[in-house]
Structure 1
Amino acid sequence: MIKLYDIDHVSLGVEDLDAAAHSWQVEFGLLERERENGRAYLACNYEPYSLVLEKTNTPGIQYAAYNLHPGFSLADAEKHLREHHVDYVRTDDAVAFTDPEGNGVRLVPYRRRAGQDVLPVASRQTSEIRPGGPRRLGHVNYLVADVDAMVDFYTTVVGQQLTDRLGSDAGAFLRVGADHHVNAFVNTGTPHFHHVAFDLVDFGQIRQSFDHLAQHGRWFPWGPVRHGIGGNLAGYVRLPEAECFVELYCDMEQIDDQHEPREFPDDRKSSNVWGMLPPRSYFRFDKETVEAERESLRAIWD
């Protein structure tokens, strides 16, 4: 069976590459490291990159990429996919394929640390990293039509582990290491990429980031919340231009090797121990819903 090390990067399609790259740097604190062939490569911290923006006429998720464990090569990944009868494309630096609901997946080699990259972040020196940005890419979340099929594919083919379920079939959370989840699925009956999540130091940084994003015209359909599943503090900002949300979070539950998957009840407390469930617009991406959400029209109608 294939084994993963962590999530590596996410690729989002955008219509205006210059505007998107500027937004991610100014609003979210990422650093653009390189731009070539219609792609911008952005980093949270000292890593080569965690986010790839690709100029395209179809905005939204292109793929999520995961590091293979140091003991597994791309050739091992190819063999594994052939054994499971999964069609794939091999490039010099990745194995690419799609999941049962059409989402792109890539397996990439482990990034071996060297030089000051082996040191704690506070011990390093830099002339590029800006204050206020996220520490790292954390996870992705998909709205799906068949939770069980996705769980089976990502555990058997991709190499992730089931952490917890929401009800019997309302949702599922998967991990590859200690973080409670690196991937999650919510059953809405209609497939759509929902959010990409970034880890922040603490709730104080989340507050500062929320204030900063609001000053740039962004809005938060849901949050701050304290999730029952995963335990993390979080808030969700909508990115209409990428047809998804960005989650900013901290305090994710850490899972050990003795963990056995739990089934949380599909209720308010599992989603948010502090109170409200998300609004219906949180699961929709059509222009009418986004505009109504932006202008708080539902609140006016009610």
Structure 2
Amino acid sequence: MIKLSDIDHVQLGVEDLDSAAHSWQMEFGLIEREREGGSAFLACNYEPYSLVLSKTNTPGIVYAAYNLDPEFSLDDAEKHLKDHRIEYRRTEQAVEFKDPEGNGVQFVPYRPHRGQDVFPRTSRYTKDLHQAGPRRLGHVNYLTANLKQMVDFYVDIVGQEVADTLGPDAGAFMRIGADHHVNAFVNTGTPHFHHLAFDLIDFGQIRSSFDHLAQHGRWFPWGPVRHGIGGNLAGYVRLPEAECFVELYCDMEQIDQHHEPREFPDDRHSSNVWGMLPPRSYFRFDKETIDAERESLRSIWQ
């Protein structure tokens, strides 16, 4: 059995590396650490990086990478995948493989304090962190066509645990540590990467970030919301160029080692205790839907 420490970073493919790196810095407050081999490495905080942007002709998710527990090495990860007959590729930095729906996964070595020193962020000095950037990368979310298969794979092969489920077969939320979830699956019948999520300090920072993003022409198909499952305050920004959303959130439920998975009812309250379910466009990525969503055409009273 493999054991993880945390989510480490996400890699996205982009058509225009310079433009994408600039957007992530100007709009979301990330910092570009370095460029290497056609990739840009960006950080939220003091960590080496949380987001890798790579130039490609097929934009979208490339993989999500997870830190191994300190007791597990890349050799251990390689043996684990061999024992389960999972095809993989080994590099000096990672072990790479794919889940049943073709999403990339990486195991990377344990990074103590995610590359940071032992002191809290507020007690350190900096010459490069941007004002009001995210605290960290928090989780990823996928749409799936086979919920059980994906949950079983991420438990048995990736080493995550089920935190809670949405109904018996509508969704599942996966944990590694105290955060309610580091990964989630929503059963929509069609597989697609849905969003990566960044942890902010509080709702005031979410409000300021939304104001800032709106000034850059971004729009928000759903939010702000208070999720029933997970408990977090959140809002969702569409990134058409990356075929995904970015969630900005705070106040995620913290759960302990004795937590028993709960089955939340598949209803409005579990998704958003404040009000409405997400619009249908929230689960779609085709151009027609995005264009209509951008201009709120489906919200006009007929």
1:112 deviates by 2.9
Aligned residue pairs total: 302
Whether contact under 8 Å (1:13, 1:60) holds in the other structure is yes
Determine whether 1:136 maps to 2:171.
no
Determine whether 1:289 maps to 2:296.
no
Unaligned runs of 5+ in 2: none
1:96 deviates by 0.1
1:114 deviates by 10
Which residue identity is paired with 2:190? T
1:298 aligned residue? 298
Which residue identity is paired with 1:106? Q
1:227 aligned residue? 227
Whether contact under 8 Å (2:166, 2:263) holds in the other structure is yes
Whether contact under 8 Å (1:7, 1:182) holds in the other structure is yes
1:87 deviates by 0.5
Whether contact under 8 Å (2:46, 2:115) holds in the other structure is no
Q: Deviations over 1:251-275 (max 9, x none)?
A: 0000101100000000000000000
TM-score scaled by length of structure 2: 0.98
Residues 116 and 89 (structure 1 numbering): CA distance in 2 closer, same or farther, change over 3 Å? closer
Whether contact under 8 Å (1:14, 1:58) holds in the other structure is yes
1:73 deviates by 0.1
1:22 aligned residue? 22
* Whole-Å separation in 2 of the counterparts to 1:113 and 1:62: 25
1:71 aligned residue? 71
Matches within 5 A, 1:121-200: 121-200=121-200
Residues 292 and 200 (structure 1 numbering): CA distance in 2 closer, same or farther, change over 3 Å? same
* Whole-Å separation in 2 of the counterparts to 1:193 and 1:223: 19
* Whole-Å separation in 1 of the counterparts to 2:110 and 2:285: 34
Which residue identity is paired with 2:219? W
Residues 124 and 153 (structure 1 numbering): CA distance in 2 closer, same or farther, change over 3 Å? same
SS in 1 for 2:300: helix
Whether contact under 8 Å (1:116, 1:124) holds in the other structure is no
1:131 deviates by 1.1
2:36 aligned residue? 36
Runs of 4+ with >2 A deviation: 112-116
Q: Deviations over 1:28-56 (max 9, x none)?
A: 00000001111000000000000000100
Q: Deviations over 1:148-193 (max 9, x none)?
A: 1000000000000100000011000001000000000000000000
Q: Deviations over 1:188-225 (max 9, x none)?
A: 00000000000000000000000000000000000000
Whether contact under 8 Å (2:14, 2:58) holds in the other structure is yes
Whether contact under 8 Å (2:166, 2:265) holds in the other structure is yes
SS in 2 for 1:252: coil
SS in 1 for 2:34: strand
Q: Deviations over 1:56-106 (max 9, x none)?
A: 000000000000001100000011111111010000010000000000000
Residues 196 and 114 (structure 1 numbering): CA distance in 2 closer, same or farther, change over 3 Å? closer
Residues 62 and 25 (structure 1 numbering): CA distance in 2 closer, same or farther, change over 3 Å? same
* Whole-Å separation in 1 of the counterparts to 2:173 and 2:278: 18
